[in-house]
Amino acid sequence: MAGNQNPISAIDMLTSALRSNIIPNQEYLLQGSVIDSSAEVLHNRLRGLCDAAETGPETFHDHEMCFSLKASSPGGTPQQQQSFLLRVRRALDHPEYPWQLRYLGQPELGEKNQPTVLRSCIDIACTPNVVEFLSELGCRIEFEYVLKGYLFRKGRMKVTMSKIFRMGQAKSPDSLEAMTGSYLVELSLLAPSGQDAVADEIKVFAEQLRPLVHLEKIDYRRLQSYS
């Protein structure tokens, strides 16, 4: 998705961050889904609520590969070994855009009254040979998928509606198979750590999308057992 962002704003963000020594590396996140038949309604509502209503949302068509790097602990079984994931994403619709390498930390649900999930998030633009580089480092690809959808902005908030596709056997972008009959909806905001006030802003926006889509804090630990 970063690939679809306006490169100027990315550079602006980077320079201003470097100047002030502030890195927006905390992602405030709420997630939900909307079934395909209601996706258009949500699309229209988001168009109305978000910035640049006249020009409409940006679309994206991305391919994400998820690499894992296992840090082996002595005597640990493979399951106990700690691993962390690195995500490489490229824009299929814009091959000229830089690729994106993303690290996502463990999502923290925090207190019950904390409005959003909080996770650390570091994005960096890179060149296509990042895949080779990661492989050389010993990373192995864990899974990959294709996303297709819309990106909306509302101030600092980012709303994405994305359809998730499994890569087919043929390994070509044509043989995509949708995971579910729903769009994944994510509402996120990147901010430097300690700016918890923005979480309420996100919560308020999420309330405006009810009951069309329920954006919630999703507990990843519970999803581990979910099949």
Partner 1 sequence: MQREEKQLDAALEALLQRINDLKTSIRTLLFRLENEYASLSWPSFLDSYAVISGQMNTLLKVMKNDKTPLLRNLIVLPLVLSPDPDEELKQATEGRVVAFSHDITPDMLRTKPDPDVEQRQNQFEQRASQVPPETAQKQINALNKVVNHVLEQITHSREDWENEATVRAAAAQTCVMADTHTLIAAVGLGKNLKTLPIAAPAQPGPGRAQAGPAPGKTTSTIKTTIKAASQVHPYNR
Residues within the interface to partner 1 (CB under 8 A): 31-35, 38, 41-42, 63, 65-72, 78-79, 81, 107, 128-129, 131-132, 134-135, 137-145, 164, 166-167, 169, 171-173, 179-182, 184, 211-214, 216, 218, 220, 223-224, 226-227
Helix, strand or coil, per DSSP, at residue 28: strand
The distance of closest approach from Cβ of residue 155 to partner 1 in the complex, given in angstroms and rounded to an integer, is 24
Residues making up the chain, counted from first to last = 227
Helix, strand or coil, per DSSP, at residue 70: strand
Residue nearer to partner 1 on the CB measure, 48 or 211: 211
Taking the C-alpha atoms of 94, 100, 105 and 110 in order, what is their torsion angle to the nearest 10 degrees?
Answer: -40
Residue nearer to partner 1 on the CB measure, 17 or 214: 214
Which residue type is seen at 122? I
The distance of closest approach from Cβ of residue 22 to partner 1 in the complex, given in angstroms and rounded to an integer, is 27
Residue nearer to partner 1 on the CB measure, 153 or 214: 214
Write out the DSSP string of 160-200.
EEEEEEEE-TT-STTSEEESSSEEEEEEEEEE-TT-THHHH
| Cis check: omega of the bond before 95, within 30 degrees of 0 | no
**Strand pairing partners for 190?**
27
The distance of closest approach from Cβ of residue 180 to partner 1 in the complex, given in angstroms and rounded to an integer, is 4
Helix, strand or coil, per DSSP, at residue 72: coil
Residue nearer to partner 1 on the CB measure, 41 or 52: 41
Residue nearer to partner 1 on the CB measure, 16 or 220: 220
The distance of closest approach from Cβ of residue 110 to partner 1 in the complex, given in angstroms and rounded to an integer, is 17
The distance of closest approach from Cβ of residue 58 to partner 1 in the complex, given in angstroms and rounded to an integer, is 19
**How far is residue 49's CA from residue 46's CA, in Å, rounded to a whole number?**
5
Residue nearer to partner 1 on the CB measure, 103 or 145: 145
The distance of closest approach from Cβ of residue 195 to partner 1 in the complex, given in angstroms and rounded to an integer, is 23
Q: Which residues, in sequence order, are CB contacts of 39 under 8 Å at separation 6+?
A: 161, 183
Residue nearer to partner 1 on the CB measure, 131 or 189: 131
> What are the helix (H) ranges across the chain?
7-20, 36-49, 130-137, 197-208, 220-225
The distance of closest approach from Cβ of residue 184 to partner 1 in the complex, given in angstroms and rounded to an integer, is 4
